[in-house]
Amino acid sequence: MRITRVLSAALLAVGVAAGPAVADSSPSPSASSDSDAPTQAGTSFRTATEIDQGQQATASGSTGDYLYWSFPADAGQRPDVRATVKLPDSHAAQTWQLDVYDGLRRRQACQYGAQTRTAAQGTASVELACVMRTVRAWSEPWANDPLPGTYYIRLTVVDLTSADLGQPVSAELKVGSKDIGGAAAVDGSLAKPLVPGIAVRSESDEDSSSSTKSAVLSSIEPDDGWSSGWWTDRWVWTGIGGVLAALAGIGGYALTRGHGRPRRVPPGA
C-alpha cells in the first residue's frame, strides 16, 4: 500500500508539472490590437515600418514600389507571414513576391507557402505566404539559420508589363507565429538578439571621439522581452524522466527484495 501511495503522488506531481509544458506549445496570442496598426510601409530596410506579431498592417503604393515592414521573432517561434495585394480593375498578368530577411539582411528560406504568385489578367487580388523555419537560440557562424532578432519583409512585383508600371495597389500584411517549444531547443544562446543598430555623433561633438550616441534602427521586441532560449519545456520533461526513473528503481527493489529470511525447519520435523 505504501508503494501504491508513493506512485500515485508522484504521478500526480508529474501531471501538474507537465501542464505548463503543454500550454507552452500552443500558438502565441496576438501581440496587440489592430486599432493602432500601421497604415503605410517603408521603402527600404532602414525605413521599414515596425509591426508587432498579430497586427494587420495596411499600405498603399504603386506597382514597381518596394514595400518594407519589420517585426521581432524570438527563439522557439516559427513565424508565419501572409500578405494580400489588391490590384487595379484592369491589368495584365503580373508576378508578386514576398521575401523575408533577418537582422543581418540574409534572405531566409520558407518552409512552405506561396512566396511567389502570378496574378492573371483582371484578377482582383493575389495572396502570398511564407512560413519560416523555427528561430534558433544559437547557431554556427557559417550557418544561415534564423536567429532571435528583427526580421524584414519585402513585398514587390517582379514581373509586369510596362503599361502596368505605376498603377495604384494596396496591401494587407499580418505576421503570426507558433511556439514550437523544447523540440527546437539548442545548447547555446546569443549574447544579444540580431537587432540592427548604428552609432551616430551629435553635431556639436563631431570632432570628439569620446562622445557618441547609439541609435537603434529597430526598437521593437517581444512583449515579454528576448528570452534567447534560456528556458524551454525540455527542462520539465527532463525532470519528469528523472522522477519516473527513480520510481521505477523503487518499484523494482520493492518487488525483488522478498519478504525476509526463510524460517529454518528443525531436523526430523
Q: Which of 83, 174, 88, 96 is nearest to 129 (CA)?
A: 83
Phi and psi for 178 in degrees, rounded to 5? Answer: -120, 135
Please provide residue 229's backbone torsions phi and psi, each rounded to the nearest 5 degrees: 75, 20
Say if 218 falls within a structural domain. Answer: yes
Burial of 202 (0-12, 13-18, 19+ CB in 10 A): exposed
146 within some domain? yes
Q: In this predicted model, what pLDDT tens digit does every residue of 119-131 receive, in sequence order?
A: 999 899 999 999 9
Which is more confident, 147 or 220?
A: 147
Residue 89 lies in a domain: yes
Stated pTM of the model: 0.70
Does 261 map to a domain? no
In one letter, which amino acid is 141? Answer: P
pLDDT of residue 268: 66
pLDDT tens, residue by residue, 184-205: 666 667 778 888 764 333 344 4
- Contact call for residues 126 and 84 (beta carbons, < 8 A): yes
Q: Which three cell numbers stand for residue 196?
A: 540592427
pLDDT band at 16 (very low <50, low <70, confident <90, very high): very low
How confident is the model over 152-163, as a mean pLDDT? 94
Task: Give residue-wise pLDDT tens across range 227-251.
Answer: 744 556 666 767 788 888 888 888 8
Q: How many domains is the chain partitioned into structurally?
A: 1
- Asked, for residue 16, whether it belongs to a domain, the answer is no
Domain hosting residue 123, numbered range: 26-232
Residue 217 DSSP symbol: S
CATH code of the domain covering residue 51: 2.60.120.380
Per-residue pLDDT, 59: 96
Does residue 206 sit within a domain?
yes
Residue 15: inside a domain, yes or no? no
How much is the pLDDT for 29? 38
Q: Is residue 247 part of a domain?
A: no
Q: Can you give the length of the chain in residues?
A: 269
